[in-house]
């Protein structure tokens, strides 16, 4: 019985690997016939297996095309695993960065239109605390602009549709075009900076953390009173970018030369 169950599990994994292939990603999903060809199994067997996986949310079926793709539950499990690994990998590097800059370092992720802090690290008891689990507006923070680095102009309109306020805090970002310009600056420099846009007398820098695919999955952020950090903000940005690059490398990312972005937003 155990051998039979193990054999079935291997077959399910083969289907999931086929649905995660470049072909499936390009097409937005694959049909039963094509999947049967890829895994070398009978169409009826594949159909039954996919139905069982769909019932559990591991795969999902497009109601129009009837093609299958990887499902919400699988992505949810992966996301939680990635975030747990991210925290483990980032923490010692954040401690080193905090020591170098003598400031608190935050590990942040994107949640809809908010920046959520997963972890804060400081070598000084008097530094800022209480950020973990707290969400702040994406547009007026350096972390938010970094977390949107993979966005296109169309993505920004989807995230901030008509009727949704873009402006927050003291930010100079008031329109989609303003936000796009700040994202472009962060791409150019390798880090984002803000001066008293989120809160009076507070400045900050953030740099992107990428996964093995090169996608931005988090940001390393350093925020501090302007009187302490403002005069060395760009230096802090470069140091933070180097630390974020180290975290990215441990997450499996191999840096490649960036290609210029041609898209414009007016």
Are residues 27 and 97 located together in one domain of the fold?
no
Are residues 145 and 184 located together in one domain of the fold?
yes
Confirm whether 193 is domain-assigned. yes
Are residues 60 and 91 located together in one domain of the fold?
no
Residue 81 has pLDDT above 70, yes or no: no
| Residue range(s) defining the domain that contains residue 19 | 2-70
Residue 123 has pLDDT above 90, yes or no: no
Please tell me the distance from the alpha carbon of residue 90 to that of residue 83, in angstroms, as a whole number.
Answer: 10
Mean pLDDT, residues 117-139? 69
Q: At what angle do helices 32-39 and 2-19 cross, to 10 degrees?
A: 120
Are residues 126 and 8 located together in one domain of the fold?
no
Are residues 95 and 216 located together in one domain of the fold?
yes
Residue-level pLDDT at 105: 94
Are residues 66 and 86 located together in one domain of the fold?
no
Domain count, the chain: 2
Are residues 93 and 42 located together in one domain of the fold?
no
Which pLDDT tens digit goes with each residue over 20-63? 887 887 788 899 999 999 999 999 999 999 999 998 888 989 88
Beta bridge partners of 218: 209
How high is the mean pLDDT of the chain? 85
Are residues 22 and 129 located together in one domain of the fold?
no
SS3 181: helix
Are residues 124 and 25 located together in one domain of the fold?
no
pTM of the predicted protein model: 0.66
Residue 256 has pLDDT above 80, yes or no: no
Instruction: Indicate which CATH number applies to the domain containing 91.
Output: 3.30.450.40
Residue-level pLDDT at 127: 47
Rounded percentage of the chain residues whose pLDDT exceeds 90: 50
Are residues 122 and 63 located together in one domain of the fold?
no
């Amino acid at each position: 019985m155990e051998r039979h169950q193990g054999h079935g599990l291997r077959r399910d994994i083969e289907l999931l690997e086929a649905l995660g292939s470049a072909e499936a990603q390009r097409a937005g999903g694959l049909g039963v016939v094509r999947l049967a060809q890829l895994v070398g199994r009978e169409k009826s067997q594949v159909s039954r297996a996919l139905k069982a996986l769909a019932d559990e949310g591991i795969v999902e079926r497009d109601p129009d095309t009837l093609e299958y793709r990887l499902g919400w539950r699988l992505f949810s499990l992966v996301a939680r695993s990635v975030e747990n690994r991210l925290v483990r990998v980032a923490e010692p590097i954040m401690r080193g960065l905090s020591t170098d800059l003598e400031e608190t370092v935050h590990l942040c992720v994107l949640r809809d239109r908010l920046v959520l802090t997963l972890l804060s690290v400081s070598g000084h008891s008097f530094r800022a605390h209480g950020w973990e689990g707290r969400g702040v507006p994406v547009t007026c923070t350096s972390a938010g602009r970094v977390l949107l680095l993979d966005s296109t102009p169309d993505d920004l309109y989807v995230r901030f549709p008509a009727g949704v306020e873009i402006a927050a805090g003291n930010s100079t970002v008031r329109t989609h075009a303003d936000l796009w310009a700040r994202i472009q600056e962060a791409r150019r420099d390798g880090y984002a900076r803000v001066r008293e846009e989120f809160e009076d007398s507070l400045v900050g820098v953030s740099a992107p953390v990428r996964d093995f695919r090169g996608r931005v999955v988090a940001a390393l952020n350093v925020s501090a009173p302007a009187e302490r950090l403002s005069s060395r903000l760009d230096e802090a940005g470069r140091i933070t970018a180097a630390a974020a690059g180290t975290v990215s490398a441990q997450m499996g990312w191999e840096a490649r030369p960036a290609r210029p972005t041609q898209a414009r937003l007016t």
